Each structure stands twice: as C-alpha cells, then as structure tokens.
C-alpha cells in the first residue's frame, strides 16, 4: 500500500485532516489540483478580510473628526498586500505539511475503485481516504454567470477595477460583506434578497441593525425581491417582483452570491458506497465518517455549514479518528460576518426556541453601555444572549469586536455554562468583551448603571 491515508483536496479541511493524521503517525498524501489552501486562503476568507479590514480603517478615519488626514485607498497596492498575505499563509501551510512528511501530489484525484486514487493516470493505493474537495459557485437559470458582467464573488473581487453600479444577488453573509467592501470603495451598491429579512436565518434584530447601517452608508436593499436577469449585454438588467410592485433594477456588474454545489466530479461515490444527500453533499456523522468506514468527508463537500470554521475542525476530527483518537464535532459552530459593523452568532435564537416549543428568554445590552465602545468611537450595536432556564443557549452580537467576542460565548455554549457560571467570570476593563459581564449582571440582578 502506498499510503495509510490519502486526502483529496488541499483546502482548509483537507490540510487539517492530513496534518492531524500525519501527527498521529500515519503515512499521508494530499492531492491538490490547484493551490494548497483552497478557497478560503486563496479566494475567500483571507483575501476578502484583507480587503474589508482595509476599508474599515478608511471608514474609521473618516468618522474620527479629530484625525486630520485625507485617506484614500490605493487598490493596486492593497491587492499586492493581499497577494503577499495569501502567499505567506499558504507558504506556512505547505511547510507544516512538509515538516510532517505529508506527500503533496499535484493533480486531480479521481476515485474509481475501493482503496485507490487515480491522479493523471497514476494509481495510488491507500487504506483510508478523506474527501475534502470543497464546493463551487453554480450558474443559476435566473442569474447565468457569463465571466463578463455577471460574476461569482471571487471573480468580482479580483477585477483590476470595479465599475460604478453593482447589484449583489443574495443578502446573506457573502452579500453583506461584499456590500460593505464595495460601498466603502465608493460604488453604488444594491442588494436583492428573496427573503423578508436581510441575513436570512440570523436573529432578526441583528439583521435589522445590519440593514440600517448599510442603508445609512447608502446601500439600497430590496427584500422579498423575486428577481431574474433579463439583459446582460451592456448593462445587467434585473426584473424584480416585489410584494406590491414590479421594478427594473440595473447595474454595470452583477455579483451572484447564491448557489453552490459540492465538488464531486471524478469521484465515483456510488461505486465506493459513499452516500450523498439530495443536493449531492456527502452525508457524514459527527466523527466525519461516511457510509463507507474507509472514507471520511470534511468541509464544504460534507454539507452545511459551508464555512472554513467548520472545515478546519472537521479535518481535525477526521484526522483524529483515523489516527486512533476518538473525536467528534463540537455542537456549536459560530458564524462571523466581517461587515462594517461586525456580526457574531452562535447557538439558538428566541425564534428557534419558540419553533421547538422550548421556554426561553433573551436579554440585550447595547454597545453604548460599554465604556470601551466609546473609546473606540463605535457605540452602535448590541449583544443579545438567549437563555433557557439558567442555561445559555444562544448569543448574537452586532458591533465592533463581535467576531472576537462570539468565540468566548461559543466556549460558554460548548462547555454548557450557565448564567451563574459566567457571572463568576471577570473580564478585563475596558474591553468590548465586558459586554458579556453586563448581560450576566442584568440576567441575575437587573441593571447596575
């Protein structure tokens, strides 16, 4: 046998699976047809956050009347900076794999028979296979991608220059982040969202606060907008059906943030008895195991949530189990949105509890009640914590630092902490995380200020 483990796909999920299995003494190969780091490092999380962080600095300077500078964005220089970061992160990943003696094989991995992977006609034999091939944008009939002016997010972010009028289809995580980015670059931005709230599935107050902030910045947002592209020759024109009217919305560029499919072409999953759901995503249990005990699947190809947060951990879990350490996925997966006002969310909303017929309540503390928010000149937003009895079951925050604060709350949920447990914890002053103490205080004894 050539290897103990072959990992197909070198994104975040495949990387962590390969590294973990190798750490535990397995002889591992990772097959990557494009670039180690996959979508997250090369095309999604890291580049998009580099761009968003840059425009946030710009926004902060504009907002601070006591800073006397006229800052502008040098997009070319920023793109070079972004490329440097991608290369550094990717370089470290490759080094880590090499240090653990993981063999990196360049090419497309294909599964045809049990225990074998074919790369460019060469067969590699293995005991275990980890499928970590990710997902890709799809061209939907109402929004056909054309490589010119109807694009997926990454292609749009990599245009050498952006046109003035941009229409974003989908008001989810990617739509909100891109709207933040494009608006800060001075573009006219419109979001078309099919559902009645921006950020569908999120706490509705979080969604409303985000909508308000984007609208204050000048982003036009249509909700309950059933739209389709009717022209994309010169301008992109949308026919938009709203609850009580019909409008034509046009732009120079349309960015389609909805619709993805698992990357399973070339993997004959049926032949090796690996089951998929009706959308083609591989079905796994909480140990990242598929229906075939020799096959694991991690990351986007293994279904929702499609996030690097999950992909990385699922890779570790697969690596652990292959290496003989029994391991399961965490119960909670926090979501962060790096919008102008950051968002962090983990666990249940009050609406979720109502749907499940579970008693619960939520308590909200505004950012303006936290001294640190004032020193940061960012007093908008709030933290909302959902409890059932004394147990913390959800946390939803919008505001400066939310993407960091949510990790502490994720820990609280995962550890099953109660209000009494968290009330005992001291958070240093002045920090944004102190907002957690304030919520606990109010849950136990009411307001102190």
Ligand X SMILES: Cc1cc2nc3c(=O)[nH]c(=O)nc-3n(C[C@H](O)[C@H](O)[C@H](O)COP(=O)(O)OP(=O)(O)OC[C@H]3O[C@@H](n4cnc5c(N)ncnc54)[C@H](O)[C@@H]3O)c2cc1C
Q: How far apart are CA 152 and CA 147, in angstroms?
A: 8
Give whichever of 201 and 391 is closer to ligand X, judged by the CB atom.
Answer: 201
Give the rounded distance of the alpha carbon of 112 from its chain centre.
32
Instruction: Considering the candidates 63, 92, 355, 429, report the single residue annotated as catalytic.
Output: 429
Comparing CB distances to ligand X, the nearer of 281 and 443 is 281
> CB neighbours of 324 closer than 8 A, spacing ≥ 6?
24
Residue 340 to residue 342: CA distance in whole angstroms: 6
DSSP state of 102: P
Report how far residue 144's alpha carbon sits from residue 139's, in angstroms, rounded to the nearest whole number.
Answer: 5
Estimate to the nearest angstrom the gap between the alpha carbon of 158 and the chain centroid. 19
273 labelled catalytic: no
Q: Which is nearer to ligand X, 128 or 372 (CB)?
A: 128
Nearer to ligand X, 44 or 370 (CB): 44
Q: x/- binding map, residues 138-167, to ligand X, per CB under 6 A?
A: ---------------x--------------
Helix, strand, or coil here: 93?
Answer: helix
Beta-sheet strands, E only, within 232-373: 236-242, 245-251, 253-256, 260-262, 295-297, 335-337, 343-347, 361-366
**Is residue 29 near ligand X by the rule CB under 6 A?**
no
Q: Does 399 bind ligand X (CB under 6 A)?
A: no
**The one among 7, 12, 207, 269 contacting ligand X by CB under 6 A:** 12
77 alpha-carbon distance from chain centroid: 26
175 touching ligand X, by CB under 6 A: no
Among 7, 282, 284, 306, binds ligand X (CB under 6 A): 306
CB 39 to ligand X: min, Å: 3
Edge to edge, what strands does the sheet with 220-222 contain? 150-151, 253-256, 165-169, 188-192, 220-222
Strands 28-32 and 103-106: parallel
Those residues with Cβ within 8 angstroms of residue 63's Cβ, 6 or more apart along the chain or in another chain:
377
Binding test (CB under 6 A) with ligand X, winner from 109, 172, 323, 334: 109
Does 180 sit near ligand X (CB under 6 A)? no
**Apex 315 CA angle, 408 and 79, nearest 5:** 75
Stretch that binds ligand X, among 32-40, 92-100, 277-285, 436-444 (CB under 6 A): 32-40
Q: Is 319 a binder of ligand X (CB under 6 A)?
A: no
**Contact with ligand X (CB under 6 A): which of 6, 7, 28, 38?**
38
Q: Does 31 bind ligand X (CB under 6 A)?
A: yes
Give me the phi and psi of 83, to 5 degrees please: -65, -35
* Smallest distance, ligand X to C-beta of residue 31, A: 5
Nearest approach in angstroms of CB 397 to ligand X is 16
Min dist CB 307 to ligand X, Å, is 4
CB of 110 to ligand X, least distance (A): 6
Which of 299, 344, 347, 360 touches ligand X (CB under 6 A)? 299
Is the CB of residue 28 less than 8 Å from the CB of residue 104? no
Judged by CB under 6 A, the residue of 20, 82, 128, 134 near ligand X is 134
For position 171 contacting ligand X by CB under 6 A, the verdict is no
307 contacts ligand X (rule: CB under 6 A): yes
Q: Does 266 bind ligand X (CB under 6 A)?
A: yes
Does 309 bind ligand X (CB under 6 A)? Our answer is yes
- Chain positions 216 to 255 lying near ligand X, rule: CB under 6 A, are none
Which among 359, 340, 447, 448 is positioned nearest to 399, based on CA atoms? 340
Please report how close the Cβ of residue 266 comes to ligand X at its closest, in angstroms: 5
Interface with ligand X (CB under 6 A), residue total 34
Residue 339: how many CB atoms within 10 A of its CB?
A: 24
Is position 342 an interface residue for ligand X (rule: CB under 6 A)? no
Nearest approach, Cβ of 49 to ligand X (angstroms)? 6
CB of 333 to ligand X, least distance (A): 9
Contact 97, 11 (CB under 8 A): no
Is residue 14 within a helix (H) or strand (E), and if so which, with residue range?
Answer: helix 12-23
Taking CB under 6 A as the rule, does residue 308 contact ligand X?
yes
11 makes contact with ligand X (CB under 6 A) = yes
Please, which residues bridge with residue 189 across strands?
166
Name which of 266 and 280 has its Cβ closer to ligand X: 266
From CA 138, how far away is CA 262, in angstroms rounded?
Answer: 10
Identify the sign of the CA torsion 441, 444, 448, 449.
positive
Which one of residues 20, 128, 133, 322 is an interface residue with ligand X (CB under 6 A)? 133
Q: Which residues bind ligand X (CB under 6 A)?
A: 8-14, 31-34, 38-40, 44-45, 48-49, 108-109, 132-134, 153, 174, 263, 266, 299-300, 306-309, 311
Residue positions annotated with a catalytic role: 429
């Amino acid at each position: 046998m050539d290897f103990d483990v072959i990992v197909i796909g070198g994104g975040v999920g495949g990387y962590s699976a390969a590294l973990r299995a190798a750490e535990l003494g397995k002889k591992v190969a990772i097959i990557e047809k494009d670039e180690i780091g996959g979508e997250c490092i090369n095309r999604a999380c890291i580049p998009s956050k580099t761009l968003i962080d840059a425009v946030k600095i710009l926004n902060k300077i504009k907002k601070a009347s006591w800073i006397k500078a006229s800052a502008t964005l040098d997009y070319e220089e920023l793109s070079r900076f972004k490329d440097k970061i991608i290369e550094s992160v990717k370089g470290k990943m490759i080094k880590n794999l090499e240090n653990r003696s993981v063999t990196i094989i360049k090419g497309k991995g294909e599964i045809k028979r049990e225990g074998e992977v074919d790369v460019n006609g060469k067969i590699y034999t293995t005991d275990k296979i980890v499928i970590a091939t990710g997902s890709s944008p799809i061209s939907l009939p109402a929004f056909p991608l054309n490589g010119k002016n109807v694009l997926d997010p990454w292609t749009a972010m990599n245009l050498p220059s952006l046109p003035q009028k941009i229409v974003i289809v989908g008001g989810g995580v990617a739509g909100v982040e891109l709207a933040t980015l494009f608006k800060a670059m001075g573009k006219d931005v419109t979001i078309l969202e099919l559902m009645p709230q921006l950020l569908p599935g999120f706490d509705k107050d979080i969604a409303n606060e985000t909508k308000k902030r984007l609208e204050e910045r000048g982003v036009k947002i249509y909700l309950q907008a059933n739209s389709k592209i009717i022209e994309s020759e010169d301008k992109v024109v949308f026919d938009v059906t709203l609850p009580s009217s019909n409008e034509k919305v046009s732009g120079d560029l349309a960015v389609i943030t909805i619709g993805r499919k698992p990357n399973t072409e070339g993997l004959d999953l049926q032949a090796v008895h690996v089951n998929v759901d009706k959308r083609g995503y591989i079905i796994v249990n909480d140990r990242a195991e598929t229906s075939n005990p020799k096959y694991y699947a991690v990351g986007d190809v293994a279904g929702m949530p499609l996030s690097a947060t999950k992909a990385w951990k699922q890779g570790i879990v697969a690596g652990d189990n292959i290496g003989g350490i029994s391991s399961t996925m965490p119960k909670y997966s926090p979501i962060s949105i790096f919008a102008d006002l950051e968002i962090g969310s983990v666990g249940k909303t009050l609406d979720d509890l109502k749907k499940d017929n579970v008693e619960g309540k939520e308590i909200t503390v505004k950012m303006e009640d936290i001294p640190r928010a004032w020193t940061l000149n960012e007093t908008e937003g709030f933290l909302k914590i959902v409890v059932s009895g004394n147990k913390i079951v959800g946390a939803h925050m919008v505001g400066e630092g939310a993407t960091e604060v949510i990790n502490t709350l994720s820990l609280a949920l995962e550890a099953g902490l109660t209000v009494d447990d968290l009330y005992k914890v001291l958070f240093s002053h002045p920090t944004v995380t102190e907002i957690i103490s304030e919520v606990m205080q109010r849950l136990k004894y009411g307001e102190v200020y």
